[in-house]
Structure 1
């Protein structure tokens, strides 16, 4: 091989080596930068992922706690064990509900006209059949105390649902239906008081003397007139307002308007009769504003 050819070959080999070196250099130099870039992207992605996980988990935990608290509250309200039989002096709330020692009791299987409900009498004139039923029940219970009740359930308002008898053993539900002051409620009674209702209807007693709306139908059509149901023993009404457990009584002797607080001497024996102008209050301020004064003991 000649000198010129050897020189050209050497030059070509040098050019190949330089090109190879540049290619290797181009492959080497970006790696640290690429690594740093990938590390940064990876760190950022991990941070975003962790944030999303913790954020979602936090929301889930918060939501879960709220749900659990809500469920526990509901379960505590509606799965509370039923108490054993109870007896005591009953205060009349309306035609199918009484209170014994601060505990509301709804009579099982019957439905009386609502406190604000009116019916037509035999001559077609309206009369307050709801208040009339409550007044008659008050007088019936006063004739043989105490009242004995055994419980079968709680209603959607948390009230106890029970079968009740006077001290002489007479069934309160059968008497109310037999006098036409309440109706047999087949939805819950399975016709247990159908015989008494048939007798009252044939004799045109109570609501059967004229035209009337069945209490459950009247409530559906007059939701704005239905009084709020509260459970005084819990101190909190079903609708979330303070419990209306203060008794506003009108003295028979003096006509004074006196309110009694739970725990006072005559609280349990005080009977509230709406037809006499007596009522329940949710606070002492409300009672005083209405003209009632606090009982002395």
Structure 2
């Protein structure tokens, strides 16, 4: 329902009015919830991606992203949240400050070392992160790459060098397959030109080169 009114406001040329979202939490990952059927990104924090890894002081790699998601699930899944919208991100997700049982979720996660203060957007949790780091809480007891840096590294080969040639020619066990923007696997597909993968400017160009379109 909230999304309906947001779209209606945009169509009518009016600025959308921020609103509270209240409901039961379904945890998606370390900093993203579904609340009352609305996708909510927690304001002012950044948690590791689900597939991100960290390294202990002894040099052992461990799945810190999956660990954070599991910890956040244990803390909040099924609980009732009140989320106050602060913004919308580029995916049209609500970016909000959420409270559960009267406690600020963002502050709690940063204080426990389960997420970082996202200083690019807010300094609200700056001191909470510094306190967690000094006390080696959670992620701060390991060598960890900040999530934004990790995403930038993973994005290599995923962003078209020329937006007019955005079709991804991928080579897989199933053969030469091209992915169109908007298809299911487009965003997560990276192009490695050293392996013979390439970018195409049109479907005709891809087909003539021997690639077939992905089914989904």
What TM-score do the two structures reach when normalised by structure 2?
0.64
Are 1:154 and 2:115 counterparts? no
Count of aligned pairs: 155
Which position in structure 1 is the counterpart of 2:135?
203
Which position in structure 2 is the counterpart of 1:180?
113
Cα distance in 2 between the residues matched to 1:106 and 1:113 = 13
The alignment partner of 1:186 has SS state of coil
Shift of 1:83: 4.6
What TM-score do the two structures reach when normalised by structure 1?
0.48
Contact persistence 1:110–1:177 (CA under 8 A)? yes
After TM superposition, the structure 1 = structure 2 runs for residues 74-153 of structure 1, keeping only pairs within 5 Å, are 76=11, 81-142=16-77, 145-153=79-87
Shift of 1:85: 0.6
The alignment partner of 1:147 has SS state of strand
Shift of 1:79: 7.4
* Structure with larger Rg: 1
Cα distance in 2 between the residues matched to 1:131 and 1:85 = 29
Contact persistence 2:110–2:117 (CA under 8 A)? yes
Q: For the aligned residues, what is the CA RMSD?
A: 2.8
Shift of 1:211: 0.8
The alignment partner of 2:58 has SS state of coil
Q: Greater strand share, 1 or 2?
A: 2
Which position in structure 1 is the counterpart of 2:102?
169
The alignment partner of 1:137 has SS state of helix
Cα pair distance change 1:140/1:224, threshold 3 Å: farther
Cα distance in 2 between the residues matched to 1:176 and 1:195 = 13
> For structure 1, which runs of at least 5 residues remain unmatched after alignment?
1-71, 227-238, 243-285, 287-297
Cα distance in 2 between the residues matched to 1:133 and 1:88 = 22
**Could you give the per-residue CA deviations for residues 207-263 of structure 1, whole angstroms, max 9, x where no partner exists?**
11121111000000012799xxxxxxxxxxxx6357xxxxxxxxxxxxxxxxxxxxx
Contact persistence 1:82–1:153 (CA under 8 A)? no
Cα pair distance change 1:142/1:98, threshold 3 Å: closer
Cα distance in 2 between the residues matched to 1:222 and 1:164 = 29
> For structure 2, which runs of at least 5 residues remain unmatched after alignment?
1-6, 159-180, 185-215
